[in-house]
Chains A and B, each alone.
Chain A
């Protein structure tokens, strides 16, 4: 074996290992609030829907948007978000908040709002007009 080839292969093995380790650390699982409470790190992803039985409001004092979210297991928790209410918040059929649990509050740094017809994928539009 030529030394340069050995060197190259070793380099690629080391590189691939590093990338894979880093990759595995950069991704997370989507979890629910109870699992999130037991996890460490501040990039925990929780999926859920807006719990509209509780008020959702932006406070210009704390500059935070506060709402309640029901995760996929049905747990409802208070969530804070350091930005104004996303414009399409009310109709979101799914919300992903990214952050960490602090006591009973989920403090999020990012929020992804997925809307039912965001990309014109109306597979079942409602026709109210029947003529």
Chain B
């Protein structure tokens, strides 16, 4: 019922989006306020319906209606409330809903704050993107071929009609869902996706404004309104990228914040193009040139968002990404979405291209507009390189069959020279931005930052023994950018701090550059023997048994419990304990690792954890994953995880031993494990059969029936298991007879089966249950699980310099963006107010000159 309601709601929302777009088009093309109010009405209805559908989905999730594919696939009944919330957008369909909702909010803001000149044409394009997004989740019935898109309200039965269970019983409802991926069960999921989709939604605005300006031939004014939106979109994308990077760094074992993964690139490239657009718009604002670039970059930023959405959601990336989505059959829709967005953009641009204003004369090289324009171009090229790499499954076919993604080196090798170039350009451009310079005065102004950066670079190169020339150049560029922009900032703070946003972002970029360099100096923290070995490997002096040179360094150390090892020449590291704590997840193990600095008294304990990923495991094969521990410092972090341990191996062995068939589904493994005492082993054993436990062989020889006289009162029946335990090495053997007595208490029956203590060791055997159908009994055994073996861990620890500097740079960028948004927004408000004021004045016939000027700025020359 709710499913049908959901379908209908989303289908209606889809229809409303189409109607809203149509009426916005009529309003934009033919005027008439009536059209616009109808369009607005449909737009609100669309928003309300989407909101309602989202509410329904949340309701289905919270009431655990597992007959729905989406609910089954992303949730389970043991999920905490915050993750049930997050499950709303953890899947692909829900994340599209979130995107649509964000776009709706942005649309509301546009309706409220945009001047009538641009409002309706802008809303046409906002509406158009909504139509496409809604088409992907609407489930709108299509006359020729099922439903449009993948509705979050489709049922399991409709998703797999041929599954045996549904053939047998079409109304089958699974009792448990498959649960949210364990890696997503992290508080970061609450904040990361909403921010990114808000960024995506906001990036639609410059696109819509650029097209509206082409449509309405008003090429000047739009940038004033679009600028704060583009800045806002960039702030959101940056925040989302930071959150994603931080999340990956603290929860995944690859030990970094960035891996050039296609999904990461999917938000980085629009950010870079958005940045190019911001620079182009600023030139247009100050110098009335680069109209084309503003429009092209605004279009490009959004087209890349859709293109990268296509790449990551169409299934085309397949193996090359760790978190690309699965193909939901949206390939065609995504392709059409991308093509339409791109073709409309390009077509409008070509149609109006000759009409677009051109600067009358070329700007000199040493002008802010030329330098900023070059900066935009450099940013464009960076984005181009990253898109090229991300597109390897498609574009790689030009060169090889069956292409792999490029090595990370491809991205790194190109970003280094680009980083240097951008670092140097920021300073030159900032100097030119705030003051007119010729070559002489600019050189004079640049002497100070050059000198300061050179001195610091030389000192640092000596201090950290840097040998790589490319790194030295990069370091110089970063320091030059830091000092140069810092000096500009110093001057600004005294005069005009409101306008300091832009400069602050450049300082943030310089800080980021320095932080990035740190990752070139990551080093595994190992003992001195391993370090010597790694040095020999690096020098090509180590050969394996077959005479081939070894080329892989060893990045981890084995630690036995309680035995300290000196690692990284600086810390005595001791593996203190390993325990199944189940703090956050069933089966979770926490390790305590003590670090004692040898040269001081400082010491600290780190707590990496390891846990079975139950949501991804099948009963027979449990998948284990690690949760690293990070200790952040001002100049370097210690990042570590437990790559393997005796406790994990023991748990794997135990899980394999315990009959996995008894678990009905994976999720039942969870609660059971929660009650599990790791010291107890449960087995099933057939009559006349044997089982091996640790050092012992247990034979179950027969049942011994207990005489009624010996039974307590109210007993129904009593039976003992005749067990023989034999030590495998010594051959010594003992008989044990644990009992199982069924008693009655009123109407209910219960079993009395206390553990039987073993005489030869500190342990016990409990006669757990009887399985007459298979002639087996269940035993719970404690204490003879082999000799207490030596506990060990494989510890992978890494020394990672300047991670904090990366975060610092990101924060400076964020603050810079925020300051710039506030400034540009209030600037625009002032401009609008002044315009109204001017009109009023003009209406009184007092200032015709001003009005003419305003109109000139507002309207392009006629075609």
Indicate if the CB atoms of A119 and B181 lie closer than 8 Å: yes
Q: How far is the CB of A126 from chain B (nearest CB, A)?
A: 8
Number of interface residues of A (CB under 8 A): 52
Q: How far is the CB of A38 from chain B (nearest CB, A)?
A: 15
Across the interface, name the chain B residue whose C-beta is closest to A125: B178
Instruction: Determine the chain A residues whose CB is within 8 A of the CB of B665 once the complex forms.
Output: 127-129
| Chain B nearest CB, measured from A127 CB (Å) | 5
Contact B165 A82 (CB under 8 A): no
In the assembly, what is the distance between CA of A45 and CA of B175, in Å?
Answer: 42
Say yes or no: A91-B168 contact (C-beta < 8 A), given A58-B644, A112-B319, A114-B319.
no
**CB within 8 A of A23: which of B175, B406, B548?**
B406
**Main SS class of interface, A:** loop
> Closest CB-CB distance, B59 to chain A, in whole Å?
21
CA distance A105 to B546 in the complex (A): 10
**Cβ of B626 < 8 Å from any Cβ of A?**
yes
Query: Whole-angstrom distance from the CB of B463 to the nearest CB of chain A?
Result: 31
Beyond known contacts A27-B392, A63-B556: 19 more, CB 8 A cutoff: A19-B385, A23-B396, A27-B399, A27-B404, A27-B406, A28-B400, A29-B400, A29-B403, A82-B554, A88-B623, A107-B548, A107-B552, A120-B73, A120-B178, A120-B615, A127-B172, A128-B664, A129-B175, A130-B169
In the assembled complex, A77 has its CB within 8 A of some CB on chain B: no
In the complex, are the beta carbons of A27 and B405 less than 8 A apart?
yes
Find residues 93-127 in chain A having any chain B CB closer than 8 Å to their own CB: 94, 96, 102-103, 105, 107, 109, 112, 114-115, 117-127
Give the top 9 A-B pairs by smallest Cβ distance, nearest first. Answer: A26-B406, A82-B552, A26-B410, A121-B326, A87-B624, A24-B399, A88-B623, A84-B644, A102-B548
Set of chain A residues within 8 Å of B555, measured between Cβ atoms: 82-83
A22 CB, min distance to chain B CBs, angstroms: 7
Q: Which of B407, B616, B624 contacts A117 (CB 8 A)?
A: B616
Q: Nearest Cβ in chain B — how far from A1, in angstroms?
A: 13
What separation, in Å, do the CA atoms of A95 and B128 have in the docked complex? 42
Q: Which residues of B contact A28 (CB under 8 A)?
A: 400, 403-404
- Contact partner of B616 (CB less than 8 A), chosen from A4, A45, A115, is A115
Interface centre among A29, A85, A109 (most CB of B within 10 A): A29
Q: Are B319 and A96 in contact (CB under 8 A)?
A: yes
- Interface bits B640-663 vs A (CB < 8 Å: 1, else 0): 000110000000000000000000
- Across the interface, B410 reaches (CB within 8 A) one of A22, A90, A115, A122, namely A22
**Docked complex Cα distance between A83 and B473 (Å):** 34
Contact of B402 among A30, A112, A124 (CB under 8 A): A30
A-B contact pairs, 8 of them (CB 8 A): A82-B554, A83-B555, A84-B556, A91-B617, A91-B623, A94-B319, A102-B546, A129-B665
Would you call A42 an interface residue if the criterion is a C-beta within 8 Å of the partner chain's C-beta atoms?
A: yes
**A128 to B403 Cα, complex, angstroms:** 39
Contact among A2, A24, A96 for B362, CB-based, below 8 A: A2
Which residues of chain A have C-beta atoms less than 8 A from B395's C-beta?
23
Query: How many angstroms between the C-alpha atoms of A23 and B618 in the bound complex?
Result: 40
B367 interface residue per 8 A CB criterion: no
Q: Report B-chain residues with C-beta under 8 Å of the C-beta of A122.
A: 73, 178
Q: Is the CB of B402 within 8 A of A19?
A: no
Query: Is B577 interfacial (CB-CB < 8 Å)?
Result: no
Residue of chain A at shortest CB distance from B179? A120
Q: CA separation between A105 and B547, bound complex, in Å?
A: 12
Docked pose: A107 CA to B159 CA in angstroms: 43
Task: Tell me, rounded to whole Å, the shortest Cβ–Cβ distance linking B185 to chain A.
Answer: 12
Check A19 against B388 for contact (C-beta < 8 Å).
yes
Nearest-neighbor residue (CB-CB) of A30 within chain B: B402
Choose from A26, A118, A119 the contact partner of B407 (Cβ within 8 Å): A26
Q: Is A53 an interface residue (CB 8 A)?
A: no
Near A by CB (< 8 A), chain B positions 487-526 give none
Nearest CB of chain A from residue B193's CB, rounded to whole Å: 15
Residues of chain B lying within 8 A (CB to CB) of residue A90: 621
Chain B nearest CB, measured from A79 CB (Å): 13
Is A60 located at the chain interface by the 8 A CB criterion?
yes
Contact of A130 among B168, B615, B626 (CB under 8 A): B168
State how many angstroms separate the Cβ of B487 from the closest Cβ of chain A.
Answer: 30
When chains A and B are docked, how far (Å) is the Cα of A121 from the Cα of B305? Answer: 24
B-chain residues with CB within 8 Å of residue A105 when the two chains form the complex: 546
Docked complex Cα distance between A42 and B623 (Å): 29
CB distance B326 to A127 under 8 Å?
no
List the B side residues contacting A20 at CB < 8 Å: 388
Say yes or no: A27 contacts B400, CB within 8 Å.
Answer: yes
- CB of B846, distance to nearest CB on chain A (Å): 45
Which A residues lie within 8 Å of B409 (CB)? 26
Nearest-neighbour CB distance to chain B for A12, whole angstroms, equals 8
* Chain B residues positioned under 8 Å from A23 (CB to CB): 388-389, 392, 395-396, 399, 406, 410
B381 interface neighbour in A15, A109, A124, Cβ under 8 Å: A15
B131 → A minimal CB distance (Å): 27
When distances are taken between beta carbons in the complex, the residues of chain A under 8 Å from B446 are none
B589 CB to closest chain A CB, in angstroms? 12
Minimal beta-carbon separation of A102 from chain B (angstroms): 4
**CA of A108 to CA of B728, assembled, Å:** 40
List the A residue with the shortest CB-CB distance to B616. Answer: A117
Asked if B407 and A87 make an inter-chain contact with CB atoms under 8 angstroms apart, the answer reads no
Q: How far is the CB of B612 from chain A (nearest CB, A)?
A: 9
| CB contact list, A25-77 vs B, under 8 A | 26-30, 42-43, 45, 47, 58, 60, 63
CB of A88, distance to nearest CB on chain B (Å): 4
**Chain A residue with Cβ nearest B668:** A129
Contacts of A88 in B (CB 8 A): 613, 616, 623-625
